[in-house]
Amino acid sequence: ICSIFGTFFVHTREGANQEELLKALRSGNMAASVLLVICVGFILPFMQFEAPMPIYIVIILGLVAGIIVGGATEYCTSGAYAPVQSIAKSAETGPATVLIRGLAVGMFSTIPPIVIVTLLIVISLSLAGVYGVAISAVGMLATLGITLATDAYGPVVDNAGGIAEMAELEPIVRDRTDALDALGNTTAATGKGFAITSAILTALALLVAFQKDVSGDDKSALVADIVDTSSTNMVMPGLLIGALAPYVFSGFTMLAVGKSAGSVIEEVRRQFRLGLIEGTDGIKPDYRACVDIVTKASLKEMIAPGVISISIPVVFGLLLGPQCLVGILTGGIISGALMAIMMSNAGGAWDNCKKFIEGGAYGGKNSECHKAAVVGDTVGDPFKDTSGPALNILIKLMSIVSLVMAPVLKDMYMS
């Protein structure tokens, strides 16, 4: 309801620039957030908490943390700000420097979300224990309706631009869809930032639930639990294995994109050799063949990442015990979260770097700078659309599988 209310505050003028478009979407999110704070303040006293005020504060902190993370993501991925513009500047010296600069921007972009989430975890634990961490994730996702709408808006506008180009509509139509598409890249990165930071909080709560189920201990101090388990020799190997998992997982997802793209290119070249470009009589584009290749590859190539997500907790939990599994989950959360933020933001920055140059900067479209930016965008697409978002699933799926296995591990190792 709050998100629906917020949509009425989203409006802008004809010919608006990127900053104005971002401000329009931001105003909708802020309106939804303010209404949420008011509604929670009225509802919470009726929910029979012994101390409702700490819960209320934690919810607000989660909401504020999400807004700050979204703002930091906007800064790192929007063409209106210095990071993306610096990548466009580096295109003057070729695609290699575009890739280097984009990776650096992605790495630096991990600082604000991690600092914010760290502070949120510490404060939530002090106010309401592990339950506070979980409920702060709820606060962060409370305005998910409008956040998810802005995330989905990006692909819609991207496809609209493709339709406008294929239909050979007036150039002004394509100019408008390009501007909205650039905004969509930023909002998509913001949505991924919300997803990643909330995944950290969710996985942390699941990790504590796993520790409690295995140990049978009802204490809620997360730090004490980790200190107790780290006294064994199995935690450090688990940390290394857990930190490795996101890299192996991302390697498979990146390869999946590369193989699929290669197959599509070969199919397109085959159709070109038949005389498609020359307009040979009877030769028409076979769209179905390309769609068939991509659909089959999307299913086939995801088998290995799916097996990895499920098998790592099962195999190492049974072989090396729950202490090792705690290390695996901890390492996976830390490594996966950082890698997911870096990939999502670097990909969005590369994409908007290309849009920024297409807007007329550094020679505009079809210039040497634009060609260099296209290389960065090509690398960034699997970063921001495949490997980065998929790491959220890896983090949460490993935690859920471990929680399901907790009773078995308790009988094997703790009895």
Q: Which of 20-29, 124-133, 222-231, 308-317 has the highest mean pLDDT?
A: 308-317
pLDDT band at 226 (very low <50, low <70, confident <90, very high): very low
DSSP assignment letter at 92: G
Residues 81-107 have pLDDT tens digits of: 899 999 999 999 999 999 999 999 999
pLDDT band at 415 (very low <50, low <70, confident <90, very high): low
Q: In 44-170, where does DSSP find H-type helix?
A: 52-77, 82-90, 95-108, 111-140, 144-166
What the block records as the tokens of 247 is 């890299």
Quick one: which of 146, 136, 184 has its CA closest to 31? 146
Q: For residue 221, count other CB atoms closer than 10 A to its CB.
A: 14
Q: How far is Cα 128 from Cα 136, in angstroms, rounded to an integer?
A: 10
pLDDT band at 231 (very low <50, low <70, confident <90, very high): very low
pLDDT band at 382 (very low <50, low <70, confident <90, very high): very high
Confirm if 254 and 339 have CB atoms less than 8 A apart. no
Mean pLDDT for all residues in the chain: 86
Residues 269-300 have pLDDT tens digits of: 998 888 888 877 778 888 899 999 999 988 89
Residues above pLDDT 90, as percent of the chain: 40
Question: Is the predicted pLDDT of residue 227 greater than 50, yes or no?
Answer: no
- Give long-range contacts, CB 8 A cutoff, 24+ apart: 101-104: 102/346, 102/349, 102/350, 102/353, 102/376, 102/379, 102/380, 103/342, 103/346
pLDDT of res. 220: 43
Confirm if 410 and 370 have CB atoms less than 8 A apart. no
Interacting residues of 75 by C-beta distance below 8 A, sequence separation 6+: 81, 83
Question: Is the predicted pLDDT of residue 343 greater than 60, yes or no?
Answer: yes
Type of residue found at 242 = G
Cα angle, residue 114 at apex, residues 44 and 339 outer, rounded to 5°: 125
Residues 107-131 have pLDDT tens digits of: 999 999 999 999 999 999 999 888 8
Any idea which residue has 């070109």 for tokens? 272
Q: How far is Cα 134 from Cα 58, in angstroms, rounded to an integer?
A: 9
Residues 142-180 have pLDDT tens digits of: 887 887 787 777 788 888 888 888 888 888 887 788 778
